[in-house]
A and B are shown apart, each in its own frame.
Chain A
Amino acid sequence: MSDPRGAGVRPGLLARLKAGLARSASTFSDAIASALGSGRLDQATLDQLEEGLIAADLGVPTAAALIAGLKEERLGKEASADEVRAVLAGRIAARLAPLARPLAPDPARKPHVILVAGVNGTGKTTTIGKLAARFKAEGHRVVLAAADTFRAAAIEQLKVWSDRAGATFVAGAVGGDPAGVAFEALTRAMAEGADILIVDTAGRLQNKAALMEELAKIVRVLKRLEPSAPHDVVLVLDATTGQNAIGQVEVFQSVGAVSGLIMTKLDGTARGGVLVAIAEKFKLPIHAIGVGETIEDLQPFEADSFARALTGV
């Protein structure tokens, strides 16, 4: 299948990332700029700043904590809009920086198994397609397992990505046992001496106990073949999701031992600020962000640029 938007002249990657994130930033920086009209940091300004953070999905407690820190330090002092933004960005970046860690498959493992999970529609399959292309470009032998046997045409969708990336593709029957597909894929990846196996799973809401149990079963079955697998369990979060993302991390972590996060859809106006709250609470590595639909649109997560874009520095 063709990808009309992948063709043609494309601006540089950095410019695209910036453009994507700048959209995220604009509203927030507007809020700060208007808040700082007077030049002196007062309570009304702080309230407006807090609202700016809330509107960026940071959530009330996280926003309140950040503003409290700012208040202690700066209340009543002269502060330009840029200074306040820089301080806020610095504080946010400081929380996120220790967690910025790209997915790094261990070459000693044959294969390094990556399980990808998340609620419906967050962009799991697309993200896997991008990951596969990247690993392939880096010279790895990649196997993709279509363990989403539930959603109609999910297997076909992954197949298209697999073909684009030039990966080996393993799928089972529609409606079949996802754990079975994972088992077969791992068996095959081991036999072929593949470097990386990425397992796609069906989207599931975290409050569906039976579906979460199914995910736990996939993990168990992988462990039966290779006790150290899965080596990464990546939870894909949608930047447009609000505070519910926190609950998603919590529940997925309890069943599947989530080892890292990828946040998608940061190319819209959603700011993904909930990631700051999540970082605070779970201290999970943040591997990458998705800023578009083509293969190059998966970027390593950078705390500085994320925080700066969030606050509009």
Chain B
Amino acid sequence: MFEALTERLGQIFEGLTRRGALTESDVTAALREVRVALLEADVALPVVKKFIDEVHAKAIGTDVIRSVTPGQMVVKVVHDHLVQTLGAEADELRLAGAPPVAILMVGLQGSGKTTTTAKIGFRLKERDRKKVLMASLDTQRPAAQEQLKVLGEQAGVPTLPIIAGEMPVDIARRALTAARLGGYDIVLLDTAGRLHVDEALMAEAAAVADVSQPAETLLVVDALTGQDAVKVAERFTQRLKPTGVVMTRMDGDVRGGAALSMRAVTGCPIKLIGVGEKMDALDQFHPARVASRILGMGDVVSLVEKAAETIDRDEAAKLEARVKSGKFDMNDLAQQFRQMRKMGGMDGLLAYLPGVQKAKAQLAANKIDDRMLARQEAIILSMTKTERKNVKLLNGSRKRRIAAGSGTSVPEVNRLVKQFIQMADVMKKVGRMDPKLLRRHGIPGLIPRA
């Protein structure tokens, strides 16, 4: 349906990089593609237009013409401008002021305010050693207040006791009083999700802001948001004057288009991003990383972090030892398949890597996909333990049994065995080789060929 922005820009700029000189019409053509790509990544139309205009003005100029590789120069101009638009520096929460300092959380329904509130509470407690009180002013959604209470218990952050039927402004007042009396540094006020067109609820949030005089009003936005991002940003900015944005669900397979829209329209820094379901899954926003991910340079940093999160360190060390001693067997291969699946399968992994388009085409040509991984794993699991350790045992009748057991065919079993033997050979060499070489060939060198 739509190609990821990364791939799209990769294609465009590949064309540009190959050429020696760059004309104005080249830039215009490239930027037309950038425009489409940004739209496909859900960057809002007005933001796209402005962005393209600005880049166009920057790109067509002496810089580009005099540079040695004009294509790369355009990439750089687009990248720099993306970083600039996203906000040049990672921005911290402002916590200065006489305690208790209030932080107000606002946003649409389902954007992830309550979860984010608890994560921020946890972060301030753990990282900044602050004494934090959380209060839910959400009297709209059933059990919303209970939700914050439970999350507070999980995070070890106290919540204001719930009084049924109390109005949001009164809850805010009570929270501030309780925080003052209890010697808290920070009060987090979680409000109900509201539509930006819901005048009554917007007025209510404004009243809460009046009462609590928050040091930060954080607009919580779902990273999956489409073109509507602009309207949401405009109305919330007009009515509630947010001081920062939190993008949630950045751990989804999103390109960050909404982040660009939000930043451009609200003018507020993106302070934090939600990257998972766990309490500590809240990160600093790194504009350069997101810009790189958008531009097809691949978000290698995030990939490494993800790998560190999912791969068992001990197992990895064991595997390395086995590879070095030339003992890589079918069990290890099965383990690798499982690991890849855990990290989101082939597509999940590839999404992070540069030059994805080519790799994907290669994989498709070799018919390598997640289903194939699953079938190969099934073949291995249908082998006996001794067979897994020593593939040389596999004769015709054993192969027939394995094929039947795994619901595959003897040719498929043969193919896997052949791949394994090739791989084991490579592994033996790798074990003896200097690690730099492995790095140069990278993951594609380890993927078996059908």
Contact = CB atoms under 8 A, between A and B. Distances in A.
- Is this pair of chains taken from one and the same complex? yes
A289 B41 CA distance: 25
A133 B44 CA distance: 37
A264 B381 CA distance: 44
B384 interface: no
A270 B150 contact: no
B191 interface: no
A254 to B, nearest CB: 10
A101 B15 CA distance: 46
Contact of B341 (A122, A205, A209, A244): A209
A51 B108 CA distance: 25
Contacts of A241: 222, 224-226
Nearest to B46: A55
Given A205-B249, A246-B2, A269 B196 contact: yes
Interface in A255-290: 265, 267-271, 274, 277, 281
A152 B147 contact: yes
Contacts of B227: 54-57, 242, 270-271
Contacts of B140: 3-5, 293
B142 interface: yes
Nearest to A27: B231
B317 interface: no
Contact of A121 (B40, B42, B111): B111
B252 A153 contact: no
A60 B118 CA distance: 37
A243 interface: yes
A60 B142 contact: no
Interface size class of B (residues with CB under 8 A): 35 or more
B112 A120 contact: yes
Given A150-B277, A241-B226, A242-B224, A61 B2 contact: yes
B372 interface: no
Interface size class of A (residues with CB under 8 A): 35 or more
A129 B110 CA distance: 16
A29 interface: no
User: Lowest 3 CB-CB distances: which A-B pairs, in order?
Assistant: A242-B226, A121-B110, A242-B42
29 contacts: A1-B142, A1-B164, A60-B36, A60-B40, A119-B249, A119-B252, A120-B249, A121-B112, A123-B109, A123-B110, A129-B142, A152-B147, A153-B143, A157-B144, A209-B344, A238-B110, A239-B228, A240-B225, A240-B232, A241-B226, A242-B42, A243-B1, A243-B42, A245-B226, A265-B108, A265-B110, A268-B195, A269-B196, A270-B231
Interface of B: 1-2, 36, 39-42, 44-45, 108-112, 114-115, 139-144, 146-151, 154, 164-165, 195-197, 222, 224-228, 231-232, 249, 251-254, 257-258, 277, 341-345, 348
Given A156-B147, A241-B224, A271-B228, 15 more contacts: A23-B197, A122-B110, A151-B147, A153-B143, A157-B141, A161-B142, A174-B150, A205-B249, A209-B341, A240-B108, A241-B226, A242-B224, A243-B42, A267-B195, A270-B226
